[in-house]
Amino acid sequence: MKQFNNTPIKSFVFVLALSAVSLSLQARDSLEALRTDLNTETTERKNIDNTLSNQISAEVFARSNSDSAIHSRINGILLQLPPDHYIGEYYAGGKVFYVDDSGQHGLIASLAD
């Protein structure tokens, strides 16, 4: 019976096993690097999102205050305007002789009886 020399096969299997270990170490290192990159990217995006959210909130708050100030100024200007109707005005075929505080309602005296 001829003996088969399996030393080359054993060497090949040994090299293959070492290669597999080496590849699995490389794969593990690559995965770890990817995980680190992903965590860094996620953290940066969260920071950017928080910054944008804070900027938007500040802008909304500023505009809200600005709108309130504008409404106050408009109301102040409207109060300074003369009323819609005034005493002595000719209106609806007569002469206005009484106007309430709103300027919208009053009494008219007819010019003809």
Both 17 and 62 in one domain: the answer is yes
Both 62 and 13 in one domain: the answer is yes
Both 75 and 87 in one domain: the answer is no
Both 76 and 87 in one domain: the answer is no
> Does 1 reside within a domain?
no
Both 47 and 90 in one domain: the answer is no
Structure tokens at 18: 């070492």
Range of the domain at 97: 83-112
The pLDDT of residue 22: 66
Helix (H) or strand (E) holding 94: strand 94-99
Tell me the whole-structure pTM to 2 decimals: 0.39
- Band the pLDDT of 108: cuts 50, 70, 90: very high
Both 64 and 88 in one domain: the answer is no
**For 43-97, what is each residue's pLDDT tens digit?**
998 999 999 999 998 888 888 888 888 888 888 887 777 668 889 989 888 999 9
Long-range contacts of 86-91 (CB under 8 A, 24+ apart): none
Question: Nearest to residue 85, comparing CAs of 72, 98, 73, 94?
Answer: 98
- Band the pLDDT of 18: cuts 50, 70, 90: low
Question: How many CB atoms sit inside 10 A of residue 26's CB?
Answer: 10
Of all residues in the chain, the percent with pLDDT exceeding 90 is: 13
CA distance 40 to 4: 56
Question: Nearest to residue 82, comparing CAs of 112, 102, 54, 98?
Answer: 102
What is the count of structural domains for the chain? Answer: 2
> Does 101 reside within a domain?
yes
The pLDDT of residue 16: 65
